Amino acid sequence: MNAFIFGGDARQIEVSRQLMERGFHVFMAGFDQKANDLAGAKMIQLEDVSISAMNLFILPVSGVKNGGLVDATFSSEPLFLTKELVDSLSDDCIVISGIATPALKKLVKREVLYLFDREDAAVLNSIPTAEGTLMLAMQKTDHTIHGSNVIVIGLGRVGVTTARLFHQTGATVQVAVRETGKYARAKEMGLKPIYMDQLPKAVKEADVVINTVPAPVLTKEVLIPMKSEALIIDLASEPGGTDFHMAKQLNIQTVHALGLPGKIAPKTAGEIIAHVLVDAVEEWRKERGL
């Protein structure tokens, strides 16, 4: 089978290796600065290959941004997904992205396989995300995490793993949730649950606040009571859940930590993506009788 990896970061280099080990012929665009590290994959220009011969068309974890821009860490020039490129794919080609974005849905009218809609991808990817968050907290504060007051906003897949890791490190961890079921889960995990409307009071003593919710949660009302020496790490996809402008005015340190797995553990993160991708493609093909 032919797989075309269109943009991405160090994770996609590992994905290419994993796919080639499984017998795929791998083509890549947007990696000219890493041409010597592709280990058998073919680094191509779009005009050099028959796109219609591709069985898989793999976009980055971040999907597609406004104007068709695709993240391409190792490209010398911006990389864009165009309607013409999409239209040149065969009907049997499976288009794969990490997440859905408005720009991607606008350009690609066919069905797309979103890897991070899958439980296995999201749970496994939460591990390097949580470790990267812990690393950032250690780097950007002048105190130990052990004994710190930490608030994790949201108890989804990333929130669970992150809250557990900080708890195991010795932090006092509060978890802000909306649902009674999540509240109960936090208590079962030995954490201190609060509801979202309690955030303005809870943040007064927080040393580190970690947001996993892709909606406005760290608003002006919540930020004003915070200590100026506190650290906010926002893990939510763009635009995040923090009023970054207000945080800057209040001299609160913020980090919008996007794509942590690809930055701190690209090999492991790439292995996770490749493993999930192969399983997902097999399921996709069986469901559709391909």
Task: Please check whether residues 170 and 129 belong to one and the same domain.
Answer: yes
Task: Please check whether residues 248 and 127 belong to one and the same domain.
Answer: yes
- 151: phi then psi, degrees, rounded to nearest 5: -115, 125
Q: Which pLDDT score, from 0 to 100, does residue 51 have?
A: 83
pLDDT digits (tens, 9 = 90+) for 68-108: 999 999 999 999 999 999 999 999 999 999 999 999 999 99
Assess whether pLDDT exceeds 90 at residue 285. Answer: no
Assess whether pLDDT exceeds 90 at residue 38. Answer: no
Q: Which pLDDT score, from 0 to 100, does residue 238 have?
A: 85
Assess whether pLDDT exceeds 90 at residue 60. Answer: yes
Task: Please check whether residues 219 and 275 belong to one and the same domain.
Answer: no
Instruction: Please tell me the distance from the alpha carbon of residue 122 to that of residue 127, in angstroms, as a whole number.
Output: 9
289 falls in which pLDDT band (50, 70, 90)? Answer: confident
Task: Please check whether residues 178 and 211 belong to one and the same domain.
Answer: yes
DSSP-H helix ranges across the chain: 10-21, 83-87, 102-107, 119-140, 157-168, 180-188, 199-202, 220-223, 244-249, 260-264, 266-287
Task: Please check whether residues 130 and 253 belong to one and the same domain.
Answer: yes
Task: Please check whether residues 198 and 169 belong to one and the same domain.
Answer: yes
Task: Please check whether residues 14 and 103 belong to one and the same domain.
Answer: yes
pTM of the model: 0.85
CATH for 139: 3.40.50.720
- How many domains does the structure of the chain reveal? 2
pLDDT digits (tens, 9 = 90+) for 198-240: 999 999 999 999 999 999 999 999 999 999 999 999 999 889 9
Task: Please check whether residues 129 and 249 belong to one and the same domain.
Answer: yes
CB 5 within 8 A of CB 15: yes
pLDDT digits (tens, 9 = 90+) for 112-163: 999 999 999 999 999 999 999 999 999 999 999 999 999 999 999 999 999 9
Task: Work out the mean pLDDT of the chain and round it to a whole number.
Answer: 93
Enclosing domain of residue 197: 121-258
Task: Please check whether residues 57 and 36 belong to one and the same domain.
Answer: yes
For the chain, what percent of residues have pLDDT higher than 70?
97
Length of the chain: 290
CB 204 within 8 A of CB 222: no
Mean per-residue pLDDT for 242-269?
95
Count the neighbouring beta carbons within 10 Å of the beta carbon of residue 45: 8
Q: Which pLDDT score, from 0 to 100, does residue 187 have?
A: 97
